[in-house]
Amino acid sequence: MLNNWFNILTKNKEINNIIIGESKKVLELKFLIEKVAPSESTVLVLGETGTGKELVAQALHMSSKR
């Protein structure tokens, strides 16, 4: 249910294709990626092994204009 609501709000469907999930934290992550992607800033993704850093980087890359 939350994911359907988020899909309506999300302009960039690439994020939804790369990062799958409906939890509150995943939806917050998707929103943050969408917010940061258009900026010209460099983004450093940190986290433990196996937490999906590469997926976040891929979603950022696909959503950005760079």
The secondary structure of 13-49 as a DSSP string is HHHHHHS---SHHHHHHHHHHHHHTTSSS-------T
pLDDT of residue 6 exceeding 80 = no
Pair of tokens at residue 58: 């891929």
Write down the pLDDT at residue 66. Answer: 73
Could you tell me which residue, 8 or 4, shows the higher pLDDT? 4
The percentage of the chain sitting over the pLDDT mark of 90, rounded to a whole number, equals: 42
Distance CA 49, CA 10 (A): 28
Contact 58, 34 (CB under 8 A): no
Compute the residue count for the chain: 66
In this prediction, residues 35-62 reach a mean pLDDT of 93
Distance CA 2, CA 5 (A): 5
